[in-house]
Structures are given as structure tokens and as C-alpha cells.
Amino acid sequence: MSSEYSGAAAPPHILIFPVPLQGHVSSMLNLAEIFCLSDLHVTVVLTDYSHRRLLRHGGLHSRFSRYGGAFRAATISDGLPDDHPRTGEAIFDVVMSLREVGGEQFRRVMESSDGASRRRVSCLIIDGMMSYTLPVAAERRIPYFIFRTISACAFWSYFCTPEIIAAGEMPLRGNDEDKLTYWRKKEMDFPVTAVPGMEGILRRRDLPGLLRVNDAANLSLQAMAAETKATTKANGFILNTFEDLEGPILDQIRKHIPNLYSVGPLHSHLKSRLESSGFESSQKNSSSFWAEDSSCIDWLDSQPIGSVVYVSFGSVTMLTRDELFEFWYGLVNSGIRFLWVIRPDSVVGNRVGDTIPEELEEGTKRRGHMVEWVPQSTVLGHPSVGVFFTHSGWNSILECVAIGLPMICWAYFVDQMTNSRFVSEVWKMGLDIKDTCDRVIVENVVREVMEVRKDEFLERARAMSIMARNAISEGGSSFVNLNRLNEFLKSTTQR
């Protein structure tokens, strides 16, 4: 894995550009590291904001230093002020602002990423919603791949947006203010028939958040639908999933995008490739945007095996104070132990309030532990954890699938709406309570998954984790696909 080369002896140089949010950056850094291991040169484009976070909390330098000059990070501005929240619905500001200010900066990054010890960039790997980078690829006549960090089932739902609209299955007729009315609730349970391969599975409430709107001309939806369809023009398409998990949906996508590489679960794939290259895969692999609080491991060490519900709603979810308290009461009233990650910026208006009801304080002291951010893979693999109560972000689901734990799925927005349906209805690894966090429902579902149906869900989860391991092992589908991708990239050197 030599890293200093001169001129033509240097390996092909791949430029990777993730959407600058935690989930996207984590998956793309995992792919970047796999490429470094495969003796490719990589430049990852980060925004100043995400770069700062990774330097401070994610150990970016220590993680990639072993690859010498093979890895570089280039930075651009996302065009937003430092104190912009970059969470909740405000993440769309990040995407939209980059569409405005990203193009020229990207061109400059491309120009400056060619150096004495590196070849010119020979292939681009970009996230969704980044078509503004494509003129540069065209001018340089280099191939580009799209890597969407979401599930195949969510991608495929976005892909079918025009068909869903043509079938009259969206826009929704009730408006947002009607959210809780009888009609709206009923409408949300109507089936979606226009997504091939998902008949009998999807209801309108399971469509990705951007499609659950009452205006088909919604700008974010139209932008997402157009960029998703445009994936057909890329030289290849990468998804962080595996054939045994999403095979039937991948087959549907292949009818439109034949050069598809399913290479997941990427975090375990990287771990396995590091181990077979003789490297230790340690916590240095973290790409956290927040400081990891490892005190929770001591707390977990003192809990009985399989007794704890681990609760985390990911990196961008925002909860209202009412939602927070419904979840909290539900957890405490279930009588089951819980470890709960609540990011410091995750309660709307930073308003937990001064008065926390005594029964919640007491119940939490007795059976709970709350932290701001944890090393999630370590927590999920801890023997005391029995169930993952998740917001259904795709990385979180894959990390749980790899470990083999049952899930309780809630969903905040975007792809999470579809992911949570697949966990409960297709993979049968847990239950889906999207669109509600009523304390009684939370209490019941925690008991149901932790006690009443635990064995049933555990059996499914363990079987799936074996399939995940097989996919990334030598000869497995993701292993073979990743090698095929590596081979292609190695053939892209600029002539």
C-alpha cells in the first residue's frame, strides 16, 4: 500500500463527494477506506463544517494516516452560516445551498486535486442531488458513478415517483393540518400499487417523506425525482445493501440501471477487508460528528445480558418536547432498562424544560441511562443490548442487521418511512410504529419486542446477520461486486 508515487506510476485517482451529513459521510468514508486498501488514490470532498466535525470528533487523521498520501480530504463551503442548525428539515437547506454554491468550488477542487504524486482524477463517485458536478466530469471525459447511501427500497420508491403520481397515489388529498384527522389517517393506509415489486407492502404512509405531500409540484420532491431518474445516465450505481436483503428490489432497479453494485453492509465489509489485510479495525474507524461518550459501556457492563433497549434517533432527527416526553413515559412505564442517545441539538427550541416529572426522573435513575452520542456499533454489539429502538436511518438499520438484533422502528422523515416498513413487513425483524409515539403504544411495543415476541424476532435477525456476513465474505455477492468495482476503477486511469 505504497502512497508516494511519481507521475504515471501513481494508481488511479478517485474523487468521492458525499452529501455533507453524518449518515452519508460515514458510508462514503467507509468506501474511501476500502479503496485506499485496494491501492487506489482517493480524494473525499467535505464541507468545512463536516470536516471540522470529523477532525474534532471522528479521528479523521488517525484513521487515514496509515494510507499516507493515498487519502486526501478537500474542503468547500456549504454556503451557510456557521450557526445554521443543519438538522431536521433544515438539512434541505444544506443540499439546496450546495446546488447554488457547489459547482464552481467543485471545479476548483478538481483542478487542485491533480498533483505531482497523484494522477488526474479518473472517476467521480457522487451522492444524490449533485448533478451540478457533472459538467466537470463531461469536460474531462471521465466516468462517474452515483452512490446513494439509502436503501434500495427507498431509492426505488423515489425512482417510481412519476408512476406513483400517474396512478393518483400521490399527492395526498388531506393537507398537513389534517394530519390527525380521521380522513388523513385512513388515506395514509391506502395501498401503493405503482411501485413494482412492492405491491401489497407499501401503504401511502410508507412512501419516503418527500412523497408524503399534497403538492406534486413540491420543489424538493421534483428535484429528488429528477435526480433519481438521472441515475440511469451514470456509468454505474452503488448501493450500500446486499442481495439477500433487497434482491427483488435490486432486480427491479437493474432493469433500468444494469451496472449496479450492491456492496454492503459497508461498515462490516470494511472491517473484514481491514482484518484480512492484517490491520486492526478499531474505534479509529469512527466518523462521528459528535464526541462519543463511552461511559455508557460501563453502564451496559453492569446490566444483565439482553436486558436493555438501545434507543437512538440518528444524526438529524428533531423531537418536539411533547414527542420526547411520550417516548420517555413509554420507556419508563414499560419497566424495561434503556440506554437513550439524545443529541444536544435534537429537541426543538432546546426546550426540555426545567421541570421533569418526578416519575420520569425516578424511573430513569433506576433503569435508564441517557447520553448525547455513543460509539453505536460497539453499543449494538454489547451483550446487554437486546433490542434497537431506531429512527430507521439506513446506516442504523444495516448496523443492526449486521449484529443480528430485533428492532422497534419509528421514522422521522425521508427514506426512514420506507425502511421501517421493510423491517417489519418484509424482513420481519421487529415492529414499525411510524406516525405515532403515544406513550401507551411505546410501552406496549417495547414489551412486545423485548418479551412477548422476542424469540421470533431474534431468530429472524440472527438469520439475516448470517446472510450479511456471507455477503461480504470471499465469494459473497457484495464481496464479488466490490472487486468488480475495484477492477473498473483501476481501469479508469486518464490516458
For the annotated catalytic residues, the residue numbers are: 24, 127
Nearest to 399 by CA among 416, 371, 375: 375
Q: Which is nearer to ligand UDX, 161 or 315 (CB)?
A: 315
Q: Which residue has the cell 489485510?
A: 277
Least Å distance, CB 112 to ligand UDX, is 28
Instruction: Kindly list the strands in the beta sheet with 121-126, ordered across the sheet, starting from the edge strand earlier in the chain.
Output: 71-76, 41-47, 13-17, 121-126, 144-148, 236-239, 260-262
C-alpha distances out from residue 75 to 5, 23, 46, 128, Å: 23, 18, 5, 18
Cβ distance 123 to 97 under 8 Å?
no
Q: Which is nearer to ligand UDX, 283 or 307 (CB)?
A: 283
Q: What backbone phi and psi angles, to 5 degrees, belong to 450?
A: -80, -30
Q: Which is nearer to ligand UDX, 252 or 288 (CB)?
A: 288
Q: Which is nearer to ligand UDX, 28 or 40 (CB)?
A: 28
Cβ distance 359 to 332 under 8 Å?
yes
Taking CB atoms, the residue at the shortest distance from ligand UDX is 393
Q: Which is nearer to ligand UDX, 152 or 192 (CB)?
A: 152
- Which residue ranges make up the site for ligand UDX (CB under 6 A)? 21-24, 26, 149-150, 288, 312, 314-317, 341, 373-374, 376, 393-396, 399, 414-416
Cell numbers linked to 482:
466490490
Q: What is the 3-state secondary structure (H, E, C) of 387-442?
A: EEEECCCHHHHHHHHHHCCCEEECCCCCCHHHHHHHHHHHCCCEEECCCCCCHHHH
Least Å distance, CB 286 to ligand UDX, is 7
d(CA 284, CA 280): 9
Least Å distance, CB 494 to ligand UDX, is 31
Least Å distance, CB 380 to ligand UDX, is 8
Least Å distance, CB 183 to ligand UDX, is 28
Least Å distance, CB 392 to ligand UDX, is 7
Range 226-254 burial, b when 16+ CB lie within 10 A, else e: ebbeebeebebbbbbbbbbbbeebbebbe
Q: Which is nearer to ligand UDX, 122 or 315 (CB)?
A: 315
Q: What backbone phi and psi angles, to 5 degrees, belong to 457?
A: -70, -35
Strand partners, 175: none
Least Å distance, CB 397 to ligand UDX, is 7
Residues with Cβ < 8 Å from 439, sequence gap 6 or more?
325, 326, 327, 329, 330, 333
Full DSSP string of 105-120: HHHHHHHHT--TTSPP
The span from the first CA to the last CA of the chain, in angstroms, equals 23
Q: Which is nearer to ligand UDX, 24 or 421 (CB)?
A: 24
d(CA 266, CA 261): 12
